[in-house]
Amino acid sequence: MTAHAALELIDLRAGYGSIEVLHGVSLTVEPATVVALLGPNGAGKTTLLRTTSGTLTPMGGCLHVGGVHVNGADAASLAQAGVCRIPEGRGIFPNLTVAENLRMWTGVGGLRLPEVEERTFSRFPRLGERRGQLAGTMSGGEQQMLAMSRALLVDPAVLLLDEISMGLAPLIVADLYELVRTLAEEGIAILLVEQFAQTALAVADYAVILAQGRVTRRGTPAEVEEHLSAAYLGGAA
């Protein structure tokens, strides 16, 4: 038992300008646990990830990381606190080779190039085989691996994953989600947004349905699954 949840949102409110999108969302992600955040388009899932990673400042409520109140902390400070979000658009340099991408990341977490390469290639041998290839010419799945390897350099406590299956073939998606499970077993708290609800439920320990900026259901995948179609069709479960 750890004393604190890795990530805790308490009655969190957030939005854009004067428009509130999240109207008081509470959720907890424990270490070594995968929580799937589901819900229809426009429910506020990405907004929640943006707020949790410090890209957006909460309008109200509390954001706790490892039991520490971090409201108002910017993305760099939250990264320092162990919150890592795989950037939208994968955040890699397509016109650089895999090895050059890794070189750009030296210094992240105080690591030097040999350590960056060692860590990356031991977890993703396929990237080692492609170290001289331009990142942008790799398959979508390989690019996603490269993006994830960056996040893992900092030994994150909390990993935020936004639609990592976007545009990828089913077999690759299965590989990526196997990796997600492994990362959870290593102790990382994972909050994931996934367009394919069944894929997310298959890997998650718990699931939350968000609709119109509010949590409408939460529970185990089995408990949440039966309310999915109502949530996606009507915005309320």
Q: What is the DSSP letter of 134?
A: B
Choice between 41 and 122, CB closer to ligand ATP? 41
Place of tokens 């890699």: 92
Supply the minimum distance, in Å, between the C-beta of residue 83 and ligand ATP: 18
Contacts of 138 (CB under 8 A, 6+ apart): 98, 130, 146
Largest CA distance in the chain: 52
Residues 136/118, Cβ–Cβ less than 8 Å: no
Supply the minimum distance, in Å, between the C-beta of residue 194 and ligand ATP: 10
Choice between 26 and 46, CB closer to ligand ATP? 46
Supply the minimum distance, in Å, between the C-beta of residue 20 and ligand ATP: 10
Supply the minimum distance, in Å, between the C-beta of residue 78 and ligand ATP: 18
The CA distance from 126 to 192, in Å, is: 24
Choice between 39 and 66, CB closer to ligand ATP? 39
Pairing mode, strands 206-211 and 68-69: unpaired
Supply the minimum distance, in Å, between the C-beta of residue 193 and ligand ATP: 7
Provide the binding-site residues for ligand ATP, judged by CB under 6 A. Answer: 16, 21, 39, 41-47
Looking at this protein, which amino acid is placed at residue 62?
C
Nearest to 29 by CA among 148, 216, 187, 223: 187
Place of tokens 């320092």: 80
Choice between 43 and 180, CB closer to ligand ATP? 43
Choice between 88 and 223, CB closer to ligand ATP? 88
